[in-house]
Structure 1
């Protein structure tokens, strides 16, 4: 049995938009106290952690030039088993250098994201600098993806043949798709910044 509209309103089952406003207000996407501000804090924490990890790896990379490596072996494991290899200075420098570049690249990505979210907290998402920051994120992400693909292929072919398989081209589809999305977002932000500039000139 359907109740008339006045009964529904009286029982609180047909709230007006004004009565729903206090419930949805805490979930604002922009401005102080919004979801963007919470994500900005998370990005700040992750950025500091990545900065520390990258700095530690850089110190280890420098120290690896002087560390004696006599009779030191490492075990490279894969799906088909494992293999012991002598730890040469070239192998150590290659591994530490690749890890430093990997974490350093994501640290730079988080740095640009923090600056973008800062503009979101200020309520200015279409800041002209965000276009450049998004393009930087896309470029760094492309470099990191390509670097990981080449490094794993080198390890599989030269350092651990038959133990570690190189990445196939199919495994690049998701990273390449992510890079393209970032560049598309950069163009969207560029168009938004252009429209905002034209609106300001009109006013």
Structure 2
């Protein structure tokens, strides 16, 4: 199987990335709807109008995981951003011209997206651990959650690798343009 052009491995990967991209948008929409319902439910309870929320919704809102939902939505947005940039790179591979300036920019943006995702992951873990500890809620087995920091070296290595690849693509594009001007 060829790697570039129509009917290639790149076109198959682009189809898979398209599916993942649209699924991520659906999950983002659902999570955003949950946030809107949480905000509306909180405002209606504060103002004292409307009926009491059903028990299942009140139990869901009482869960500690809901506290990290805004950070989870931001992390999903970062993942969606990375997948979108990968889709754009695959489009240039399908076209048979991977050494274009846009791919360098896409790789740099992917590196930034991965870094943002990692920072949001750390933030969500810290907020959730802190809230569980401050609210004094027991965790499975009766232990308390102590906020702990764990560095994902693989993800940070990927950020560095993407930045290096972005520079390689930028330089390759510059050399290609220079070669086109040479007779």
Deviations 1:39-85 (A, max 9, x none): 010000000100111111112111210125888456xxxxxxxxxxx
Partners of 2:144 and 2:158 in 1: how far apart?
Answer: 29
Structure 1 unaligned regions, length at least 5: 1-26, 75-85
Query: Taking structure 1 as reference, are residues 167 and 133 closer, same or farther at Cα in structure 2, changes over 3 Å only?
Result: farther
Which protein shows a greater Rg? 1
Partners of 1:139 and 1:120 in 2: how far apart?
Answer: 22
Deviations 1:179-198 (A, max 9, x none): 11111111111111111111
Query: Taking structure 1 as reference, are residues 156 and 53 closer, same or farther at Cα in structure 2, changes over 3 Å only?
Result: same
What is residue 32 of structure 1 aligned with on the other side? 6
- Residue 174 of structure 2 aligns to a residue whose secondary structure is helix
Deviations 1:157-200 (A, max 9, x none): 3324754454434x321211111111111111111111111111
What is residue 101 of structure 2 aligned with on the other side? 128
Query: Taking structure 1 as reference, are residues 95 and 168 closer, same or farther at Cα in structure 2, changes over 3 Å only?
Result: closer
Equivalent in 70, 76, 80 of residue 103 of structure 1: 76
Structure 2 unaligned regions, length at least 5: 46-52, 135-142
Indicate yes or no: 2:141 matched with 1:168: no
RMSD between aligned alpha carbons? 2.4
Indicate yes or no: 2:161 matched with 1:188: no
* 1:47/1:107 contact within 8 Å kept: yes
Q: Which has the higher helix share?
A: 2
Partners of 1:43 and 1:63 in 2: how far apart?
Answer: 30
How far did residue 137 of structure 1 move? 0.8
What is residue 152 of structure 1 aligned with on the other side? 125
Query: Taking structure 1 as reference, are residues 38 and 91 closer, same or farther at Cα in structure 2, changes over 3 Å only?
Result: closer
Query: Taking structure 1 as reference, are residues 160 and 191 closer, same or farther at Cα in structure 2, changes over 3 Å only?
Result: same
Partners of 2:174 and 2:31 in 1: how far apart?
Answer: 42
Q: State the TM-score, normalizing by the size of structure 2.
A: 0.79
Query: Taking structure 1 as reference, are residues 123 and 167 closer, same or farther at Cα in structure 2, changes over 3 Å only?
Result: farther
Partners of 2:39 and 2:130 in 1: how far apart?
Answer: 25
Partners of 2:155 and 2:144 in 1: how far apart?
Answer: 24
Deviations 1:79-136 (A, max 9, x none): xxxxxxx828x973x4221221111111111111101000000111111111111111
Aligned length: 163
